[in-house]
Amino acid sequence: MRGRFLVIEGVDGSGKSTLARHLVEQLAAAGHEPLHIREPGTTQIGERVRDLLLASDREPMDSRSEALLFFTSRNELLRKEIEPALAAGRPVICERFTPSTLAYQGQEDASAEFILALDQLVVAPEVQPDLVLILDLEPSVSLARAETRSTPDAFEARGIGFLEAVRAGYLKYAAARPELTALMDVHDSSPSEVLEQALEHLKALNLP
Ligand code: TYD
């Protein structure tokens, strides 16, 4: 049987990596061999594209050029890691995927259409995510959390107004796809409570 494809989304500082790590532990304990990956990156080309996109000193790029680069990293990841893992029956946990591109690069209607068209071309129907968990957090809270960890990347450096639009993009994505998404309010949740909530949603996929 094909593996299940789970995507974790949310602004920086919302707890994606922590949740991904905890889910990997749960799945492994139940006898699965989960693949844990992140976007952009994981493959060698993906990491190089990541360095280019996230450099805080780069010149501004058209949002479609950014989207094309994110899809370059995504295509490499799909062909080299995601498709083989799903075909081998392994669950895949990916931090960020097309919903990130819609939320960050697709804030204008024309860019969103461009991104949805790219998604149709690059992501075959059988490798579309089975579930998108969105960790919802106000940017003022997420920025404060993220600031204690690292210097802001090219996107975080755009400030709170941009991140508020990113959050709105996620909410819009979830509202348009209720059967695919689980919107999780993580303002007052501990990491173990977030894990509990996520495991409830995974039951629909017969996981762990
Ligand atoms: P990363 O450090 O991986 O994520 P996080 O900050 O959540 O730990 O940074 C990835 C950055 O790239 C983040 O600011 C969001 C941005 N991004 C996009 O703008 N579009 C995309 O399609 C993806 C995958 C990420």
DSSP letter at 179 equals T
Q: What is the pLDDT of residue 152?
A: 82
Which structural domain, as residue segments, surrounds residue 16? 5-205
The pLDDT-based confidence of 151 (bands split at 50, 70, 90) is confident
- Work out which ligand 1 atom sits closest to the CA atom of 17: 8
**Total domain count for the chain?**
1
Structure confidence by residue, pLDDT tens digits, 79-108: 999 999 999 999 999 999 999 999 999 999
Residue 161 CA, distance from chain mean position: 20
Cα 118 to ligand 1 centre (Å):
18
- Pick the residue whose CA is nearest to atom 5 on ligand 1: 12
8 A C-beta contact, residue 6 and residue 23 = yes
Phi, psi angles (nearest 5°) of residue 138: -65, 140
Pocket of ligand 1 (CB under 6 A): 12, 16, 38-40, 54, 70, 96, 100-101, 104-105, 153, 155-156
The CATH number covering residue 146 comes to: 3.40.50.300
The residue behind tokens 């996109």 is 53
Please check the confidence at residue 170 and state whether its pLDDT lies above 90.
yes
Residue 150 above 90 pLDDT? no
Q: Is the dihedral of CA 173, 175, 179, 182 positive or negative?
A: positive
pLDDT tens-digit profile of 125-138?
A: 989 999 999 999 99
Q: Can you read off the two tokens belonging to residue 196? A: 């509990």
The residue type at 32 = H
Q: How far apart are CA 78 and CA 152, in angstroms?
A: 27
Percent of the chain clearing pLDDT 70 (strictly above): 100
Question: What mean pLDDT is reported for the chain?
Answer: 96
